[in-house]
Amino acid sequence: MGNRTISMSAVVASVLRLSLALALLLIPCALPGQVKRPLSPAHALLPMQQIIPTRSSAPLVNPGMGLYLDGTLNADDLPPGAWFSSLVQIGYFREDWSVLEPDAQGKYRFDEYFGPIFDLWVEHWHRRVAFRLMSENVHSRRKCVTPKWVFDQGVPSVTLKGLYAKEQIDPVFWDERYLAIQERFIADLGKYLDGRPGLEFIDIGSIGEWGEMHFARWTPEMLQQTGFSPTRYIAAYRRLIDAFARAFPRTRVFLNVGDYEAINDYAAVKGLHFRQDGLTPSGPSADVGKRFYRSYARRGVVCNYELHSGYDEMRKKGWGVRETFAKGLDGPISYLHINLMSYRQLAKAPEEVRQAVTDAAPCYSSYALRGILTDLQGRNVADQLVYPERPTTAWGPGDEVTLRNVVTLPANAPTGEYRLRVAMVEPENPSLRVQLGIAGQDAEGRHDLCSLLAEKRPASPAVVYDEGFEQGTAGSNATQGMTARADAMAHGGKGCLLDARGQHRPRDTGAVPQDRPLRRPRQVVGQHPDQELRPRDAGHMAAACRAGGNDPEHGRRPSGDREG
């Protein structure tokens, strides 16, 4: 499976791109046998098929990533036919803290604020939502972004000029009383929101302008008079990071990262993720992509950008949309806030916006691949799950990954036509649907690949493993303190594997028939009952499976030597 570059007008950033070739042999389950027999014409195998799935140009909407817009409560803003309707799956809402707790401590307006948002976006539009609740906001028309009662309880403040308000009263964020009140608010907010269906993420908005890691309006005198120091500032952030980590264990929490690496690192240690609200064609503010995103993404930190400016301002500055998006994708990122213009303007967006290139996002979840056979009524007849040897969390954009799976029909399955389907799944979360970049996905998240025929055949003896060690050790490696080499002192054939410690008593493995228990298989084994299978790691299989004086679990002989 691999990722490929895609355009915004075609496909949203996706977790997986599928370029798959499947070869499947349909057989009824075989009975155990003891000797190998050559295939007869009557038992010839069914034709193998190579399936190359049809690529899909439909937008991929997958969990844990996506493009998002400022939230709206106007149902007309997102008509089904709009070119961006299928691309944007997350509505992002920012609000002042005083809107949710305006009058007194603990007297919340959670239902009044969140209820209509979840009703429209999650229940009606079947999309997701994200939030940031701020304590300082230069764009607010309110005098008190932080509730007035907070200051009435003795929290110190500074007076600043707003963009639309002549005067704004903002708290001293490193004050003990402020931090205690915020911790209580965050805890109650988590009880209300954490794990709620449709909630995608929440930002820390409790310190600095817009909840970002700066104080653009604060003068040096203000900082000095309020007792600011880097130590107090970092300590305050650590307390609020802890508060969000406790309150939202089931929800992604984002920190606006900046120059304070000590704060960024502590957030990552606590399981939080990174965002930066200043993406330009030359990169993000504080160069956080190179400095932090690339290294912390390998530790499982999900990264997020917001554009520095809207479309009109970008044009005035000579900034290209395509160049800005491309710079952001170097992050790497899983989320991008396309805050270019209003919904109405976006509906008539120029081609430069519609064709801005996006790409595949890293995968931060551990998935497995299901191979499924269904009858013509769509009912599952056989279902096989395989966990990739290289976990999906290690797959990056542009990587190609090969997965091998064998799906075997039960012996009582009727002959006839079946459909082969595949699905990428999280077994612990059956309701999760991962959309691949191929056509044919059904409501259960399965991608229909092709039709296959199955027929019954009489069961016959078969050898599941045979290695004569006539060409070498077949990849076998001896454990520490032992040696492994090909040897001609075979009981039968021309060679054997000598795997010894101390005295040499060589023995050839010959064939291991099906009536010998495979106690510790190293690979998935499944085939036609008349077909011979030769695994790549043959020496290990032989040591694990051979009978005789060996311990079948560990391949050890009590006498002190081990032969395979």
CATH number for 407: 2.60.40
**Angle, vertex CA 202, rays to CA 197 and CA 206, nearest 5:** 145
What is the count of structural domains for the chain?
3
What confidence tier does 356 reach under pLDDT thresholds 50, 70, 90?
A: confident
Same domain, 309 and 369: no
- Which pLDDT belongs to residue 491? 67
Rounded percentage of the chain residues whose pLDDT exceeds 70: 78
Within 107-229, residue ranges assigned H as helices are 110-118, 148-152, 176-193, 220-225
Q: Domain holding 103: CATH number? A: 3.20.20.80
pTM comes to 0.72
Same domain, 373 and 293: no
- Mean confidence (pLDDT) of the chain: 80
> What is the C-alpha separation between 561 and 555, in angstroms, rounded?
10
> What is the C-alpha separation between 268 and 270, in angstroms, rounded?
5
Residue 456 CB neighbours (<10 A): 13
Same domain, 445 and 299: no
> What is the C-alpha separation between 59 and 83, in angstroms, rounded?
11
CA separation, residue 392 to residues 110, 368, 443, 522 (Å): 38, 8, 23, 20
What confidence tier does 563 reach under pLDDT thresholds 50, 70, 90?
A: very low
Same domain, 433 and 558: no
In the predicted model, is pLDDT for residue 529 greater than 70? no
Of the residues 316, 343, 358, the one at which a domain ends: 358
> What is the C-alpha separation between 427 and 429, in angstroms, rounded?
5
- Which pLDDT belongs to residue 359? 63
CA separation, residue 399 to residues 236, 298, 365, 388 (Å): 41, 15, 16, 14
Under 8 Å between Cβ of 445 and 370: no
Instruction: Give the chain's length.
Output: 564
> What is the C-alpha separation between 447 and 444, in angstroms, rounded?
9
Same domain, 395 and 449: yes
Q: Which has more confidence, 549 or 141?
A: 141
Parallel/antiparallel/unpaired status of strands 496-500 and 483-487: antiparallel
In the predicted model, is pLDDT for residue 103 greater than 90? yes
Query: Is residue 29 one of the residues assigned to a domain?
Result: no
Would you say the C-alpha torsion 88, 10, 449, 440 has a positive or negative sign? Answer: positive
| Cβ burial, residue 224 (10 Å; 0-12/13-18/19+) | exposed
- Which pLDDT belongs to residue 119? 98
Query: Is residue 77 one of the residues assigned to a domain?
Result: yes
Query: Is residue 43 one of the residues assigned to a domain?
Result: no
Q: How many CA atoms, within 13 angstroms, populate the side-chain half-sphere of residue 78? A: 22
Query: Is residue 499 one of the residues assigned to a domain?
Result: yes
Answer whether the bond into residue 147 is a cis peptide, omega within 30°.
no
**Angle, vertex CA 396, rays to CA 365 and CA 6, nearest 5:** 105
> What is the C-alpha separation between 279 and 310, in angstroms, rounded?
11
Same domain, 396 and 469: no
Residue 554 CB neighbours (<10 A): 12
For 342, residues 6+ apart whose C-beta sits below 8 A from its C-beta are none
CA separation, residue 285 to residues 184, 355, 359 (Å): 31, 25, 21
Same domain, 449 and 467: no
Of the residues 406, 431, 454, the one at which a domain ends: 454
> What is the C-alpha separation between 222 and 219, in angstroms, rounded?
5
> What is the C-alpha separation between 149 and 110, in angstroms, rounded?
18
Model pLDDT for residues 393-413, shown as the tens digit of each residue:
888 777 888 888 788 888 888
Over its C-alpha atoms, the chain yields an Rg (Å, rounded) of 31
In the predicted model, is pLDDT for residue 482 greater than 90? no
* Residue 522 DSSP symbol: S
Enclosing domain of residue 408: 1-20+55-65+365-454
Same domain, 218 and 314: yes
Task: Write the DSSP assignment of 253-295 as a string of letters.
Answer: EEEE--S-HHHHHHHHHTT-EEEEEEEBTTBSGGGHIIIIIHH
Task: Write the DSSP assignment of 364-401 as a string of letters.
Answer: -S--EEEEEEE-TTS-EEEEEEE--SS-GGG--TT-B-
Task: Please report, as a single letter, which amino acid is at residue 131.
Answer: F
Query: Is residue 38 one of the residues assigned to a domain?
Result: no
Q: Which of 483, 412, 494 is nearest to 454 (CA)?
A: 412
Residue 32 CB neighbours (<10 A): 13
Q: Which residue has the tokens 């079946």?
A: 418
Of the residues 402, 424, 454, the one at which a domain ends: 454
Query: Is residue 31 one of the residues assigned to a domain?
Result: no
What confidence tier does 78 reach under pLDDT thresholds 50, 70, 90?
A: very high
- Which pLDDT belongs to residue 188? 98
Q: Which of 18, 83, 82 is nearest to 356 (CA)?
A: 83
> What is the C-alpha separation between 546 and 563, in angstroms, rounded?
9
Give the helix/strand (H/E) hosting 322: helix 321-329
Same domain, 409 and 467: no
Our separate counts of H helices and E strands in the chain read 14, 20
Q: Rounded to a whole number, what is the distance in angstroms from the first to the last CA of the chain?
A: 36
In the predicted model, is pLDDT for residue 2 greater than 70? no
Q: Which has more confidence, 361 or 423?
A: 423
> What is the C-alpha separation between 23 and 404, in angstroms, rounded?
9
Same domain, 424 and 508: no
Same domain, 221 and 337: yes
Query: Is residue 349 one of the residues assigned to a domain?
Result: yes
Q: Which of 303, 292, 281 is nearest to 397 (CA)?
A: 303
Query: Which range in 10-19, 226-235, 340-349, 510-519 is most confidently predicted, on average pLDDT?
Result: 226-235
Query: Is residue 403 one of the residues assigned to a domain?
Result: yes
Same domain, 328 and 369: no
